[in-house]
Chains A and B, each alone.
Chain A
Amino acid sequence: MDFDEGNDYNERCTQCAAVSWKITDEGTYYCTSCLNVTERRKEVESVADFTPNTKIQAINRGLKKKRKLEKGWEWYVCEGFQYILHQQAEALLSLGVCPKLKDEVLHNFWKRYLQKSKQAYCRKPIYSNNNKSAVSDSQMSLSGLDSEPELLSIYSCHLSESEVESRSDISSKLIFPNIKTTQSETTSVCSGSIDGVEYLKQKEKGILKMTLPMTLAFCYMSLLWQRETITLSDLLRFVEDGHIPYINTYQNFPEEMKVYGRDIRIFSIESWPVYEDIYEKIIELGKFLDLPRFPDITENCFLHPNMLCMKYLMEANLPDEMHNLTCQVVKLTGIGEVDFLTFDPITEKTRMVKYDVQAVAVIVVVLKLLFLLNDNVEWSLSSLAQENNENNHEGKPCFDFRKWYQIMKKIIDEKQQQREEFKAKYLWKSEKPLYYSSADRSVVYKRRRMVMNLQKQFSTLVDSAPNSEKKNPTSFQLKWTKEEQNTTCFHGHSLQEILQKKGKSLTTLNSQYWLSTQKFCKSYCKHVTTYEESNFSMSYQFVLNLFSFLLRIKASLLHEEVSLIEKRLFYKKYETKSKASKSKKSKKILKR
């Protein structure tokens, strides 16, 4: 036997003062005379100096292997997010988005984020937890290179397709120039990633932390930059329907990127994204990245209210003629202006238009203009239309609100039921179970196996033909074709009966209007108005519920938007603050 293994450690044993060391299986030294074990580890570098020795090699190889099984690769939280963004971008491309979105827009946003959050592309990446970097921090500041990170010009940096494919490799080279790959053992116990524990603790002012909802903010901002035909509500719907990876994205990480412990709090989510939440994140992110003004939203863009109104009119099975009215409202309120519509993060008061919600709100306002929606006028107008249709069989039929309501109500109830069932059946847990510590690991895996076994057992009891095939992604959730069974397509119906000619202009037959609200909250809470369902007419509630179901938002959010449009439309009423509350008269003259 070769006793050389312990030779490089020459200190005296604390117990027996002998110098006779050997290496234990764990890689520490032990005294051969008194079997005292030290805390000193055999240094790995010294392995190279050894003459080939089978036993040592075996020990060392064993050690390395064991480490790998537990820890996998050394990876950082931001690499995880980068991987998720990559997956999401791929998914967007497969939906037919312009390929530039991934390589040019999203990639640049992400690089800019890394730079702004001082994680990469700058001289001094922050990792305050690491002693070494703290030391280097002080050295740096001494040498005069302080807080302001050097910005690399990101717009000049385009990566080719192949480079993007191997982005994670690049990033591991580019990011963290200061951090040595050997981290203290203790931190890696609680998380698979290197900085998972620190990441959760980090609360630095002015740094926007990456979260899973934030990945969607990135996606949407890129879509907006590209002026793609996907609205925020569409994006979130695709996420919910599983066309864009969001929940359990970590299970697609490479095998060696282990996710456990604190990583769960970062990479696992058990909720679908919420519209308002993502909306706010987009604004925050836009400001944090200090982005320039986005490309103009002009009349030819999909996101222009006129365009979106058309889309939602079609989807809600309303007559095409209403488009004329929505255009007028858009014009009167000025919400079709380029400056109003274009997202500009660095202006003093940053805001982004909720394009989809706003377009739908315009439609609601037009419906109110036409039918008042006070549970009375709309029904008497419907009776008029019905009478007219019965007497007149030629030409365009008149739009009958009652008939429309009946058809829509039925279909929405069906869809709602379907959605409830979808929600009830949604499987949140991934095949790769998550555990907080390695002690939990076996329990968690056992539980996972149990669940899978039980699921298998019950699957034999279910109807043999489950209709679980994935729905294809589509912009239209409701489709109305001419002469389908049991339903009527109202697109071609006319509004003649409810509009009156007055000289060169047309006015609505209904000459009244009520405002959804007269008081806007000025407090610091997030909402502008309050929406108490019971205060409003049934048909208004129905219309709100219909559209908010289509957009998958809360009815109150739509109500808020309706109120804001009304405020712009009837600003004079607000200006003079004239007394009485509801049923305000408004002679809206609609020019033709």
Chain B
Amino acid sequence: MDSFSEELMRPVEEDDQVEASVGSGPEIYLPWLSQHVQSTVSRGCKGTNFAQTTSICLNFIREALLKHQWQRASEFLQCYLQTLEDFNSQKRQVAPENIWKLGSEILYHHPKSNIETFSAFADRMKNIGVQNYLKISLQHALYLLHKGMVEDAYRNLNQAESWRYGEMSASQEKLIKLIQAYRGLLDYYTWSKKRTELSRFDTDGFATSAATQDMHSYFRQASVNLHEIIKIPGIWDPFVKSYVEMLEFYGDQDGARQVLNDYAYDNNFPSNPNAHIYLYKFLKKEKTPEDKLINVLKILHQIVPSHKIMLEFHTLLRKSEKKEHQKLGLEVIFAVLDFSGCTENITAWSYLAKYLKQIVKEKHIDWVQEAWSSRKDWWPTFHFSYYLAKKNWKENKILAVKKAFTSGILLGKGCKYFMYVCKQGRKVQEKSIKTVKRFVMKHNILNSEEL
């Protein structure tokens, strides 16, 4: 018995025996193989403690960043820097980017940090590995902009733009374009400053014309770069806006319209609500026929049905003479109120109330029913609960009346919201309530259904 247990206590010994027998005999049998596999597997699972250290360290940094403990974070980052010297070349290559992200975040918030420390850090990181030079340069410039150092940022972008590193700069062409675009944006900034300066001294003369020329040169610089970036699919709102503004200033309306049209309608570009809004505003300023405006907003309605421009869209549609536009107008105003951000938008509710009234009078109850059918399950609790009635009445009586009117039409006179507001209205002798009540008694979609 004892020997048995002793045998168990010596697993190592058994292994050795197996190995020895292999050494002496020519044939290989299974146990040796299994041991071999086992040991390689266990070795494979084990990472070095170095890797363990860096991953724990990263977790600590993340935690400290989340808790805004900048000192603690920089303490750990100091140790995390050793990832730059990792023997694993793959890990070593991603290290600079990680360190840049963490370090810039820390330096951005750290109470002891200032512009000099940030710039020193950025300059150091730019030169560790060529891969991140442009990205860091750009972010550095943005940081400087944030601190109001426009000239330094400009110089930085200029420097980054002229950076060349063999094939590396070719593969980062897009990044260079982006840097150029930001430089263009800064040129635009100068241009716009000059413009306001110029408008202040509106005396003619040599000085003014020189200033105008100066301004024009900024326009040319900016427009070249901005024009380039806009061609690449992407979201370029600030670039487009400033480019269009300059084009407009120099009277190139067609050019501006073309830019905005491309930006909004090119299928290669990601869907971008702002593109349609810019186009709409531009066209509106140009006094384009309403049909065209409606077409622009139709797309926006599909992307962002809750946008505040939708109220404008609704009025456009209501005014239109086409029946389909009028019908769409109802759907648009309903859709605006589907969103929780708009539930207390008094304009939207009064538009809806007014429009419902108009439609009912025009005997288009089927439109209402159509729009209502998908909402009747959830609107009563979403908009017309007893709690909301009390709350709305307390906070905003006009809103409450509008909503009560709507609820009366949609849900009939038995609706809780309607009843509550009517009851309260009777107490304060509100005149409008009476008219509302009278109208609802006559017209509501429930009645019409019964018919």
Contacts and interface: CB of A to CB of B under 8 A. Distances in A.
Interface of A: 205, 264, 270-272, 280, 283, 287, 349-351, 420-421, 423-429, 433, 444, 447-448, 450-451, 453-455, 457-463, 466, 520, 522-528, 564, 567-568, 571, 574-575
Contacts of A444: 85
A427 B82 contact: yes
Interface string B27-68: 000010011001000100010111111001101100000000
Nearest to A571: B1
A571 B76 CA distance: 52
Contact of A351 (B12, B85, B120): B12
B438 interface: no
Contacts of B15: 524, 526
B38 A524 contact: yes
B50 A271 contact: yes
A283 B34 contact: no
A451 B76 CA distance: 14
B204 interface: no
19 contacts: A270-B51, A420-B56, A421-B60, A424-B76, A427-B82, A433-B85, A447-B128, A454-B81, A454-B99, A457-B121, A457-B124, A461-B107, A461-B110, A462-B75, A466-B75, A524-B18, A525-B34, A526-B15, A564-B5
Given A527-B11, A567-B5, 16 more contacts: A270-B49, A351-B13, A423-B52, A425-B79, A427-B79, A429-B85, A447-B128, A451-B82, A454-B124, A455-B81, A461-B106, A461-B113, A524-B18, A526-B38, A568-B5, A574-B5
B26 interface: no
- Most chain B CB within 10 A, of A423, A457, A460, A526, is at A457
B198 interface: no
Nearest to B5: A567
CB-based closest 4 A-B pairs: A270-B50, A424-B57, A270-B48, A271-B49
A458 B120 CA distance: 11
Given A525-B38, A571-B1, A564 B75 contact: no
A349 B124 contact: no
B432 interface: no
Contact of A520 (B8, B31, B128): B8
A428 B75 contact: no
B82 A524 contact: no
Contacts, number: 139
B337 to A, nearest CB: 51
Contacts of B271: none
A365 to B, nearest CB: 15
B9 interface: yes
Nearest to B14: A524
Given A451-B85, A571-B5, A424 B56 contact: yes
B78 A458 contact: yes
Contacts of B34: 523-525
Contacts of A466: 75
B114 to A, nearest CB: 11
A423 B56 contact: yes
B84 interface: yes
A42 B263 CA distance: 75
Interface size classification for chain B? 35 or more
Nearest to B121: A457
A424 B53 contact: yes
Interface in B108-123: 110, 112-113, 117, 120-121
Given A350-B13, A454-B124, A575-B1, A425 B38 contact: no
Contacts of A453: 124
Given A426-B79, A458-B78, A462-B71, A272 B106 contact: no
B73 to A, nearest CB: 9
Contacts of B103: 454, 458
B23 interface: yes
B5 A349 contact: no
Nearest to B49: A271
Contacts of A426: 49, 53, 79
A450 B14 contact: no
B10 interface: yes
A559 to B, nearest CB: 15
A351 B79 contact: no
Contacts of A462: 71, 74-75, 78
A58 B356 CA distance: 106
Contacts of A264: 87
Nearest to B13: A349
A450 B124 contact: yes
A270 B128 CA distance: 23
B6 interface: yes
A461 B71 contact: yes
Contacts of A420: 56, 60
A371 B120 CA distance: 62
B77 interface: yes
Given A455-B81, A458-B78, A524-B34, A428 B50 contact: yes
A428 B82 contact: yes
A269 to B, nearest CB: 8
A425 B76 contact: yes
Contacts of A574: 5
- Interface core residue of B1, B15, B53, B110 (most chain A CB under 10 Å): B53
A270 B7 CA distance: 35
B85 A528 contact: no
Nearest to B52: A423
Nearest to B88: A270
Contacts of A428: 49-50, 53, 82
B342 to A, nearest CB: 46
Nearest to B78: A458
A460 B112 contact: yes
Contacts of A425: 57, 75-76, 79
Contacts of B77: 458
